[in-house]
Amino acid sequence: MRFICDDNLGKLARCLRILGFDTSFQEPISDPELLRLAATEKRCLLTRDHHLLDYTHPYGILVLEDDKPLTQLTEVIKSLNLIIEPMLLFQRCSRCNEITAPVDKAQAGNHIFPYILKTQDVIRKCPSCGRHYWKGTHYKRMIRELRQAIPDNALAGPWPEE
């Protein structure tokens, strides 16, 4: 399932990307434009705006009640019965939604601290923004937050190690 988050839901969009879902984030545009974009890209629309329920949209509109991103994430997962594949976790750039790819550590050397290169098995890079990802402290914190937000039965396998 693919998603489009409206301009109120930037953090939710990042969380969904980390879970592996193709999720675009839209700066403010008019409702008809937003719906047209969602239909063209075949994305379920996630919003906090109840007015959007006045429209119909072939790929679904989900209005989220809570303003906290992790609670919104729980709402999305439960409402749509999403199943999360542990294999797909942390494969997508949380900033721009592109799938990241493992990099040759020798080539990444100029951009990354030697300590990280020495201690990390896999370093991934976003082909769009060039950001590097590895299983550092940010990763561990995210895993802990996601574990609280995601119901156990929504995960298709065991959680990855921290």
Residue ranges that bind Zn ion, judged by CB under 5 A = 93, 95-96, 126, 128-129
Nearer to Zn ion, 77 or 126 (CB): 126
Residue with smaller CB distance to Zn ion, 79 or 128:
128
Would you state the structure tokens that stand for residue 15, as one six-digit string?
Answer: 């969380």
CB 35, min distance to Zn ion, A: 26
Distance CA 83, CA 135 (A): 23
Question: Shortest gap between Cβ of 148 and Zn ion (angstroms)?
Answer: 26
Cβ distance to Zn ion smaller for residue 57 or 95 = 95
Residue given tokens 């950001």 in the structure block:
131
Question: Do 17 and 92 meet the contact criterion of CB atoms below 8 Å apart?
Answer: yes
Query: What SS3 state is found at 23?
Result: strand
Whichever of 96 and 103 has its CB closer to Zn ion, that residue is 96
> Amino acid identity of 57?
H
Q: Match 């065991």 to its residue by tokens.
A: 158
Residue 36 host element (H or E): helix 31-40
Q: How far is the CB of 131 from Zn ion (least distance, A)?
A: 5
Closest approach of Zn ion to the CB of residue 129, in Å: 3
